[in-house]
């Protein structure tokens, strides 16, 4: 649901660690590694993924694991997410 590989993620590192079921220390290390390798940036509640193919490869993600069919509703949600990203980026 990202627009141009950018999306709002209003979580702290502690909140993200909690959601992932890990402690804040490994969550912080993973985020630092993602930044260092150029896979993602995190700024004021907005995540940008400039190298989505590289991130998918590094994570071992296989698209056929998730069977999704995009619908009109998905397009509507994506367009609304774009407005959120623009407003968060301005703040």
- Asked if 55 and 39 count as a contact pair (C-beta separation under 8 A), the reply is yes
Structure tokens at 47: 């995540």
What predicted TM-score, i.e. pTM, was given to this entire model?
0.60
pLDDT at 56: 87
Fold designation for 6-90:
Arc Repressor Mutant, subunit A (1.10.10)
State the 10-residue block means of pLDDT for the chain, 91 residues long.
86 90 92 92 90 88 66 58 52 47
Strands (E), 12-67: 41-43, 46-48
Question: Could you give the strand order of the β-sheet that contains 46-48, starting from the edge strand earlier in sequence?
Answer: 6-8, 46-48, 41-43
- The span from the CA of 50 to the CA of 4, in Å, is 9
- The span from the CA of 88 to the CA of 40, in Å, is 17
Q: Would you call 33 helix, strand, or coil by DSSP?
A: helix
């Amino acid at each position: 649901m990202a627009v141009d590989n950018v999306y709002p993620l209003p979580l702290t590192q502690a909140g993200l660690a909690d959601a992932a079921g890990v402690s804040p220390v490994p969550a912080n290390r993973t985020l630092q590694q993602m930044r260092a390798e150029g896979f993602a940036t995190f700024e004021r509640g907005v995540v940008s993924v400039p190298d989505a193919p590289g991130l998918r490869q590094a994570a071992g993600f296989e698209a056929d694991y998730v069977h999704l069919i995009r619908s009109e509703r998905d397009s509507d949600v994506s367009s609304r997410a774009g407005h959120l990203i623009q407003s968060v980026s301005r703040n």
